[in-house]
């Protein structure tokens, strides 16, 4: 298949592009490099530097490549920032995404796989979180993703654009070639590994008074390769659908730090800080639906395996894509 990967120079998009290419698909990556990196673009892919805000550029990319499907990863995705600058999140994640959908309609491209988030649910009524739970986001990031999911449903009904929306929990880990390198890093595992590398003095732990066994937030970490495999399966979905994507287990911030100490054999100090606004105490996925309907089976379910893969990449590229 011919796949247009929007946001393919970012962490998740780069590794999904790698897996697509490994499986024999033709890939064109469209990315403005505001968050992604040129060095994260697989050399086997065609690359277009462009911005979803530039409607003519989006239309040109879609009409010239004529993809069989689009994978849409491009988004602003920092919860704390969304609480400070909601306008940025609604513009980038909704308005600019509409440029992509309209370009697809104009070029008669009928399939999209959308990178969504567990943040659409907010604090859940029960755990693990399945697709039947009410969606009550508590930050503009989650609200923007939920809004775009609803837009996708209408574009399917009105224009026949079939979609699969994958609601990630916490993507982590690395492939041998590509890993996680954000210019402003907010994710726990890479920040923990920066301490192990001696690049930061300590890990900042935001909130130690949550109603969890050790007082720190619990999250469901999913290996990036397992995440990428779910995207491959989504390309062949016979219907438009929403799927939660996690491993069904949860690890606290303290547990992540403890496992990282074991994997790296390095001292990792932590500093306790106040809670951040918009952070639910627990987010753990139920992924039975995607396993049942698309046959997804995660291969790297242990936190140790996830951190080991990330540690190998960060040791090889200690300065990320700057090296």
Which residues are marked as active site?
141
Give the DSSP H/E element, type plus range, for residue 167. Answer: strand 162-168
**Nearest C-alpha neighbor of 193 from the set 35, 276, 305, 312:** 312
How far is it, in rounded angstroms, from Cα 74 to Cα 143?
16
How far is it, in rounded angstroms, from Cα 94 to Cα 100?
10
CA 319 to mean position of chain CA atoms: 21
How far is it, in rounded angstroms, from Cα 132 to Cα 230?
20
Q: In this structure, are strands 251-252 and 218-219 parallel, antiparallel, or unpaired?
A: antiparallel
Dihedral in degrees, nearest 10, Cα atoms 213, 218, 224, 230? 110
User: With contact defined as beta carbons under 8 Å apart, do 101 and 151 qualify?
Assistant: yes
User: With contact defined as beta carbons under 8 Å apart, do 222 and 310 qualify?
Assistant: no
**Nearest C-alpha neighbor of 48 from the set 17, 102, 7:** 7
**Nearest C-alpha neighbor of 71 from the set 102, 29, 19, 25:** 29
- Using only C-alpha atoms, the chain has a radius of gyration, in whole angstroms, of 19
**Cα four-point dihedral sign 254, 255, 258, 263:** negative
């Amino acid at each position: 298949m011919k796949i247009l990967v929007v946001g393919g120079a970012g962490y998740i998009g780069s590794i999904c592009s790698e897996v697509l290419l490994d499986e024999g698909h033709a890939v064109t990556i469209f990315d403005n490099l505001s968050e992604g990196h040129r060095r994260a673009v697989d050399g086997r892919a065609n690359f277009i530097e462009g911005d979803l805000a530039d409607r003519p550029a989006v239309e040109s990319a879609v009409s010239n490549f004529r993809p069989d499907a689009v994978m849409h990863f491009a988004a602003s995705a920092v919860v704390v920032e969304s609480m400070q600058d909601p306008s940025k999140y609604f513009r980038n994640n909704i308005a600019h995404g509409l440029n992509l959908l309209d370009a697809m309609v104009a070029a008669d491209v009928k399939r999209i796989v959308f990178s969504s988030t567990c943040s659409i649910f907010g604090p859940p009524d029960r755990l693990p979180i399945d697709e039947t739970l009410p969606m009550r986001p508590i930050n503009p990031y989650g609200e923007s993703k939920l809004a775009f999911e609803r837009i996708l449903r209408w574009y399917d009904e009105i224009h026949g654009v079939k979609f699969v929306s994958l609601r990630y929990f916490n993507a982590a880990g690395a492939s041998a070639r590509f890993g996680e390198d954000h210019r402003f890093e907010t994710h726990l595992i890479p920040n923990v590994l920066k301490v192990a590398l001696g690049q930061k003095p300590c890990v900042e732990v935001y909130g130690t008074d949550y109603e969890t066994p050790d007082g720190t937030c619990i999250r469901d970490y999913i290996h990036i390769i397992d995440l990428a495999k779910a995207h491959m399966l989504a390309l062949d979905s016979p219907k438009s659908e929403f799927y939660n994507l996690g491993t069904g287990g949860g690890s606290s911030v303290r547990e992540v730090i403890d496992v990282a100490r074991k994997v790296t054999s390095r001292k990792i100090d932590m500093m306790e800080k106040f809670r951040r606004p918009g952070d639910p105490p627990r987010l753990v996925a139920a992924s039975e639906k995607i396993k049942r309907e698309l046959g997804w089976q995660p291969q790297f379910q242990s936190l140790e395996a996830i951190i080991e893969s990330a540690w190998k990449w960060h040791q090889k590229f200690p300065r990320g894509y700057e090296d």
